[in-house]
Amino acid sequence: MSENRKTVFISYSWDSPEHQQWVLKLAKDLTEKYGVIVLLDQYHLNTGSDLPYFMEQSIEKADKVLVVLTPNYKVRAEERKSGVGYESTMITQEIFESPITKIKFLPILRVGSSQTSSPRFLKSKVYHNMVDDKVYYSELLKLAKLIYDKPVIDIPVLGAIPDFKEPTFDPIIDSASSFLSEERLNRELNQIINSTAGVNIYDLEIDILNSLLKEKVDLYKTSTGLNFTYESNDRDATVIHCENFSVSFYWSGRFTNTAEHNKLIERRWSGFASATDNRFYFPDEKPVMLSENNYKFNLNYSKEVVWTSSKEHLSTGEIIQNSFIFLIEEIKKVKSKNFRNK
């Protein structure tokens, strides 16, 4: 319902056409995916509009102000240049006047670091990192939770209050019991992974990966009209394609008695990558690899499969979703070049 919706104003600098498009996409996604009312200059300002009045009204009306941080934003804000400078004056004043418990201004790091992109008046604020486009949608969800004042991480359920007079209660024993219990669980998970049972779980998860990829290809081909295809060498590689982009998956079980070293490698391509090694390409048809993600097979505390890298811990479903998001976003970039200006 409308009374539960949040209104946000996006403060940013016009660094480049690409940056403006990213901000426009952010606004569109917040509106369409999370029901947020977005106040944005690209929506509401026309030739002859009163820019200061729009900024004043937007900052006043907004439940949250999203401040998109870039090095250029920092310079313009601190030197009070152009529209960013005017917004910064109003933001600084409102921060000063607001109670410390009120969280209205949400800094979003888009380019650089806090040192290079955050103006002085926002230095004390924790920023939301949206630098890496590979995790855009997961960070978008976290941002939506912040806008609606929902916890990004669920707070644990309160336990019972201990009887501090009970002679058996001892914080040292309690602490030791907690981490020793966690140690036993980790040891149990390691034993599973380092056994034939771990190999079986890994093999089953690879089967699930391929089954889900096939299902999604069939679903998206039917529901979108785009030419999604699935290809496998029935051994150690699978590729999904759409238009002129591909995502390949490679795996291998090195040993029959342990899955400790088992991995899943995801590669993203411009061009038609193949699951077979003997495919012939003409020089101008050879696919170009855009990125590679290496995931190690692992189990979480619920004994569910997770794929871990230096940056992420993802389920099989999340890896699959990210691969299709990549295909759609790349195809959209190509096709939208021929679209008429709105």
pLDDT for res 105? 84
* pLDDT bracket for residue 112 (50, 70, 90): confident
CATH class, range 2-147: alpha beta
Residue pLDDT, tens place only, 209-250: 999 999 999 999 999 989 999 999 988 999 999 999 999 999
* Contacts for 210 with CB less than 8 Å, ≥ 6 apart: 232, 238
Q: Which segment of 65-79, 112-126, 135-149, 280-294 scores lowest on mean pLDDT? A: 112-126
pLDDT above 90 as % of the chain: 46
Over range 300-318, report the average pLDDT.
89
Residue pLDDT, tens place only, 172-197: 877 888 888 889 999 999 999 999 99
CA–CA distance, 167 with 176 (Å, rounded to integer): 17
- Report which of 40, 6, 37 is spatially closest to residue 23, judged by C-alpha positions: 40
Structure tokens given for 146: 């912040």
Residue pLDDT, tens place only, 51-70: 777 788 888 888 898 989 99
In terms of pTM, does the model score above 0.85?
Answer: no
Q: Which strands, in side-by-side order, build the sheet including 237-242?
A: 228-232, 237-242, 245-252, 263-270, 288-299, 305-308, 313-314
Structure tokens given for 123: 């230095």
pLDDT for res 30? 93
Q: Which segment of 92-101, 209-218, 275-284, 326-335 scores lowest on mean pLDDT? A: 92-101
Domain limits, the chain: 2-147, 190-336
* pLDDT bracket for residue 168 (50, 70, 90): low
Better pLDDT: 282 or 258:
258
Over range 1-10, report the average pLDDT.
78
pLDDT for res 178? 83
* pLDDT bracket for residue 1 (50, 70, 90): very low
